[in-house]
C-alpha cells in the first residue's frame, strides 16, 4: 500500500524566524503609538479648521500692543508738557524758602545785636550802682568774664546708654540708663559751688545765681539753651583745694556712684588758668528798705523791700 505525499496547499506555513521577537517587531513597525498618531492627526485637522481663530487672536494682540503704545506715548507727552510747570513751581518754592531763611537770619542778627546792647548797658549800670561790692555782684551775676586757676570736670554718657539698672535712679521716673540727666548736672554744679567755686560755666554757658538747669526729653538745658554731651564744666577757684573738696563732698561721691553703677564717664583735672565768658543776659534785681510814715508814736516798719 503506497502513501501519498502531503498536500502542500493545505499545510500551515512554516513559522517565521523572528516569531519569538513579535514585541520588538511591533515596536519597529509602529514607531509612533496609535493614540499619539490619532492625537496628532486631530491637531492637524483642528489647525486647518482654526486658522480664522488664530488670525483673530493675532489681530487682537496687535490691537492691544497699539493701544499700550498709545497710552505710553500720551503719558510721555503729558509729562513733557507738565515738566516745565513743575520745575517753575519748584523754583518758586526754593526762592520763597531762601527769602524766608534770609529774613529769619536778619531778624536773628538784630536780636543778637539788641541783646548785646542790653547786656552792655546792664553791665555799665551794675558797675555804676554796685557800690563797694561791685566786683562781687558782677561776679555772681555773670556780668563780666572771669579767668584764673580752677578745675575742669568732664561728664559724659556711658558708651552703651541702653544698659544700666538699680542704683539711685530707680525712683526718679527715668529709665535706668547710662545717660547723664539734668539732676546729675544740678548736683555737680551745686557741689562745686559748695566746694568753693567762684564762677562756673558748662560748655561755654556761664552760670549765675539765677541760672536754671532743666531737661527737655533727653536734652539738658541751661537757661533754656540745649547742651550736647560731653558736658565740660569749668570752675574758677583754688584748683587743688576745689578738686579735693568736691571729691570728698556728697555730690562728688554721688558722681562717683553714677560712674561705678551706670558707667557714666567722668574726669577731673586741675587747671592753671581757665577762661569763663560773661553771661549772655543779665537779670539784676535790687531792693531797698523803706520806712512807713510816722503816725505819731508808732514804731517804724523795717525790713520790707521793693523790687
Sign of the C-alpha dihedral computed for residues 140, 143, 149 and 151 taken in this order: positive
Residue with cell 486631530: 42
* Better-predicted residue by pLDDT, 162 or 233: 233
Quick check: 301 pLDDT over 90?
Answer: no
SS3 at position 193: helix
Poorest-confidence range of 88-102, 218-232, 278-292? Answer: 278-292
Residue 170 reports pLDDT greater than 80: no
So what's the pLDDT on residue 24?
A: 60
If pLDDT is split at 50, 70 and 90, which confidence band does 41 have?
confident
**pLDDT for the residue 51:** 46
Mapped onto helix, strand or coil, the DSSP state of residue 129 is helix
* Measured distance CA(268)–CA(105) in Å, rounded: 39
pLDDT above 70 (res 285):
no
Amino acid at each position: 500500500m503506497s502513501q501519498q505525499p502531503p498536500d502542500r496547499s493545505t499545510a500551515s506555513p512554516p513559522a517565521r524566524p523572528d516569531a519569538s521577537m513579535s514585541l520588538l517587531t511591533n515596536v519597529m513597525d509602529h514607531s509612533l503609538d496609535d493614540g499619539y498618531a490619532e492625537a496628532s492627526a486631530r491637531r492637524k485637522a483642528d489647525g486647518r479648521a482654526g486658522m480664522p481663530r488664530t488670525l483673530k487672536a493675532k489681530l487682537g494682540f496687535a490691537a492691544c500692543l497699539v493701544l499700550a503704545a498709545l497710552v505710553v506715548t500720551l503719558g510721555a507727552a503729558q509729562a513733557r508738557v507738565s515738566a516745565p510747570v513743575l520745575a517753575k513751581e519748584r523754583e518758586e518754592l526754593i526762592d520763597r524758602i531762601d527769602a524766608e531763611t534770609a529774613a529769619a537770619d536778619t531778624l536773628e542778627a538784630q536780636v543778637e545785636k539788641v541783646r548785646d546792647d542790653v547786656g552792655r548797658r546792664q553791665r555799665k549800670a551794675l558797675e555804676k550802682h554796685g557800690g563797694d561790692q561791685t566786683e562781687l555782684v558782677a561776679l555772681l551775676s555773670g556780668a563780666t568774664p572771669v579767668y584764673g586757676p580752677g578745675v575742669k570736670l568732664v561728664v559724659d554718657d556711658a558708651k552703651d546708654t541702653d544698659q544700666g539698672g538699680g542704683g539711685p535712679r530707680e525712683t526718679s521716673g527715668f529709665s535706668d540708663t547710662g545717660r547723664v540727666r539734668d539732676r546729675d548736672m544740678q548736683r555737680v554744679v551745686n557741689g562745686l559751688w559748695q566746694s568753693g567755686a567762684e564762677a562756673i560755666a558748662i560748655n561755654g554757658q556761664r552760670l549765675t545765681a539765677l541760672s536754671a538747669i532743666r531737661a527737655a526729653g533727653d536734652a539738658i538745658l541751661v537757661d533754656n539753651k540745649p547742651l550736647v554731651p560731653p558736658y565740660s564744666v569749668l570752675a574758677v577757684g583754688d584748683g587743688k583745694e576745689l578738686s579735693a573738696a568736691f571729691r570728698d563732698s556728697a555730690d562728688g561721691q554721688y558722681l562717683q556712684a553714677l560712674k561705678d553703677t551706670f558707667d557714666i564717664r567722668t574726669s577731673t583735672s586741675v587747671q592753671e588758668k581757665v577762661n569763663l565768658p560773661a553771661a549772655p543776659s543779665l537779670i539784676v534785681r535790687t531792693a531797698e528798705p523803706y520806712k512807713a510814715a510816722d503816725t505819731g508814736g508808732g514804731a517804724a516798719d523795717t525790713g520790707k523791700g521793693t523790687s
